[in-house]
C-alpha cells in the first residue's frame, strides 16, 4: 500500500476589487444574474456567468420547483443554455456567486457534484481548461484553473472504452 496525495492549487483574492478588469466584469454579471434567480423554496440565490472565447457572456441562475428535484442549479442552467445557443462554443471562465438574506455568508459558493460533472463534460469536449471563479455575497474570490481541479478523479469517456 502507498499513501498518495492530490494537490489542488488556486488563487485567493480577499476582495473582488483586486480582480483584473475582465474577471471583475464577469463576476459582476454573475452577481447581477443572482437577482433573476427563481428560488422561493430555499431563498438561496445563485448566479453563474460564462465567458466564451467568442467574447459572448452567457448568464444563468437557479430555477427551483415545488417538486424539489425538478429544479436546476445556476451553473447547469447557464452552461446548457450556452451550449444550446453556441454548440461550437469554447468556455474560458465560469464565475459563480450566491446571495441569501437567511444568514451571513462567510464562504464562497462551491458547485454541487452534478454541476461539476456537467461542467467537466464541456471541458473535455473543448480540450481546453475552463477557469472557475467562486464568490459569495460580500466575500472573497477563489480562482481555479480548471474543472479538473474541483473534480479530481473524474469519470470520463475513456472509462467507457476500457
Binding site for ligand THU (CB under 6 A): 39, 42, 44, 46, 62, 64, 71, 73-75, 109, 111-112, 115
Of 111 and 139, which has the nearer Cβ to ligand THU? 111
Edge-first strand listing for the sheet containing 91-99: 11-13, 141-144, 131-135, 91-99, 45-52, 57-61
Of 57 and 150, which has the nearer Cβ to ligand THU? 150
Residue 13 Cβ, how far from ligand THU at the closest point, in Å?
19
Query: Residue 46: which of 63, 25, 58, 70 has the closest Cα?
Result: 63
Of 95 and 109, which has the nearer Cβ to ligand THU? 109
Catalytic residue among 64, 75, 92, 123: 75
32 among known catalytic residues? no
DSSP conformation letters of 21-34? HHHHHHHHHHHHHH
Q: In whole angstroms, give the CA distance from residue 15 to residue 139.
A: 7
Angle, helix 113-126 to helix 74-85, in steps of 10 degrees: 30
Active site residues per annotation: 75
Amino acid at each position: 500500500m502507498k499513501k498518495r496525495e492530490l494537490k489542488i492549487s488556486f488563487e485567493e483574492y480577499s476582495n473582488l476589487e483586486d480582480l483584473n478588469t475582465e474577471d471583475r466584469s464577469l463576476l459582476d454579471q454573475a452577481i447581477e444574474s443572482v437577482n433573476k434567480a427563481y428560488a422561493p423554496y430555499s431563498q438561496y440565490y445563485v448566479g453563474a456567468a460564462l465567458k466564451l472565447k467568442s467574447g459572448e457572456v452567457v448568464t444563468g441562475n437557479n430555477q427551483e420547483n415545488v417538486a424539489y428535484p425538478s429544479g436546476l442549479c445556476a451553473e447547469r442552467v447557464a452552461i446548457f443554455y450556452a451550449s444550446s445557443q453556441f454548440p461550437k462554443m469554447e468556455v474560458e471562465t465560469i464565475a459563480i456567486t450566491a446571495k441569501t438574506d437567511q444568514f451571513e455568508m462567510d464562504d464562497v459558493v462551491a458547485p454541487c457534484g452534478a454541476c461539476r460533472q456537467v461542467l467537466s463534460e464541456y471541458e473535455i469536449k473543448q480540450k481546453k481548461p475552463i477557469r472557475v471563479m467562486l464568490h459569495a455575497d460580500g466575500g472573497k474570490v477563489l480562482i481555479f484553473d480548471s474543472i479538473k481541479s474541483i473534480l479530481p478523479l473524474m469519470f470520463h469517456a475513456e472509462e467507457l472504452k476500457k
